[in-house]
Amino acid sequence: MVGPHEFEFAAGGRILGVEAILALVEPFEIHGTRYYRIAYARKDDPDRMFEGRVAAESIYPGAKPGDRVDIEVLLGVIDAVKKREA
């Protein structure tokens, strides 16, 4: 797996709406603050798995493997994970 730094960045270092499918959503805590480790395949590169970490407030409630999502990345760090509408 590779991290989100493998993205090509747009002006300002941000990519909006990279479509992906979640393969893993694993919660963890650091000093009482919740985060999620996620693994996902991008729509434009479905045979390659990417991984990253995201703060709990930056991912929608009930995220689970198989969900279609948009992932926003800022300076190589996942900034938001949003569920795509069906």
What domains appear along the chain, each with residue ranges and CATH number?
A: 4-83 (2.40.50)
Report yes or no: 65 and 38 within 8 Å, Cβ to Cβ.
no
H-helix or E-strand containing 67?
A: none
Rounded to two decimals, what is the model's pTM?
0.80
Q: What is the pLDDT of residues 14-49, one digit of tens each?
A: 566 689 999 999 999 999 999 999 999 999 999 999
Q: What is the pLDDT of residues 50-64, one digit of tens each?
A: 999 999 999 999 999
Q: In whole angstroms, what is the distance from residue 22 CA to residue 34 CA? A: 19
Structure tokens at 33: 């603050």
Alpha helices in 1-86 (DSSP H): none
Nearest 10 degrees: Cα torsion 67, 31, 79, 48: -50
